[in-house]
Amino acid sequence: MNILAFDTATAACSAAVMAGGRIVAHRFELREAGHAEHLMPMVEAVMEEAGLGYRDLDRIAVTVGPGTFTGLRIGLAAARGLAIAADIPVLGVSTLETLAATAFDMAMKSGATVIAAIDARRGEVYAQAFEADGNPASSPAVLSLADAAALAAGKDTVLVGTGATLLAPLIEAAGGTARCGEGPGLPDAGVLAEIAARRAIVPGVAPPAPLYLRAPDARLPATAPQRWPR
């Protein structure tokens, strides 16, 4: 199976191609902005390195959120456009699941709970808990730091994501143990491709939609009522 995966949901931009069950091309850049300008050159680079055309792909995988509003729109629009052009399905995966997948091996050794948490500012995080075997233990949600830390329920916990260091002291203060996963704590298209390879696609399902969880911080200014000429 040939899979193109990419992520623009947070402060990174990444793309990867999986072919024959392994990652054959991969790019990852830390990037606070400029995802729109850098995504397609990155996608073209990994496709060229993999030696594949878009019609050689079996599916495209993209992160659907939570994340930045602009980043999510960029990734989803690119995925839909490429999928329509190549007549292939798109699979959406949450950023929290993509983050959590990097910690399951560590968690399995002790049966720890995995909490994926993304700093959402305002003293909140986007968070979701998972069992060590990868099954969700909660739904994705925007939570206060205290409520997110409570997902650990006093258990041994592996934390991943940009919110990990915010939650660790709270979990330990409540009597639990917390370990932070390795790496930058941002979604990676290589991990996304591995998830997509295991996921079934149901025919006829609508394209993936963004998972925002919270209304945008910035809002369009109110406009005065239009006065039409008589």
Q: What is the 3-state secondary structure (H, E, C) of the chain?
A: CCEEEEECCCCEEEEEEEECCEEEEEEEEECCCCHHHHHHHHHHHHHHHHCCCHHHCCEEEEECCCCCHHHHHHHHHHHHHHHHHHCCCEEEECHHHHHHCCCHHHHHCCCCEEEEEEECCCCEEEEEEECCCCCECCCCEEEEHHHHHHHHCCCEEEEECCCHHHHHHHHHHCCCEEEECCCCCCCCHHHHHHHHHHCCCCCCCCCCCCCCCCCCCCCCCCCCCCCCCC
At residue 217, the pLDDT reads 59
Start-end ranges of CATH 3.30.420.40 in the chain? 3-95+187-198, 103-180
Q: How far apart, in whole angstroms, are the C-alpha atoms of residue 121 and residue 203?
A: 38
At residue 206, the pLDDT reads 84
At residue 229, the pLDDT reads 37
CATH class of 3-95+187-198: alpha beta
At residue 66, the pLDDT reads 98
Per-residue model confidence as pLDDT tens digits over 53-86: 999 999 999 999 999 999 999 999 999 999 999 9
CATH dotted code for 103-180: 3.30.420.40
One digit per residue, the tens of pLDDT, for the chain of length 230 reads 999 999 999 999 999 999 999 999 999 999 999 999 999 999 999 999 999 999 999 999 999 999 999 999 999 999 999 999 999 999 999 999 999 999 999 999 889 999 999 999 999 999 999 999 999 999 999 999 999 999 998 889 999 999 999 999 999 999 999 999 988 899 999 999 999 999 998 887 888 999 999 876 545 444 444 343 33
Q: How far apart, in whole angstroms, are the C-alpha atoms of residue 44 and residue 196?
A: 20
At residue 220, the pLDDT reads 45
At residue 230, the pLDDT reads 38
Integer CA distances (angstroms), 30 to 10, 44, 61, 184, in order: 9, 18, 20, 9
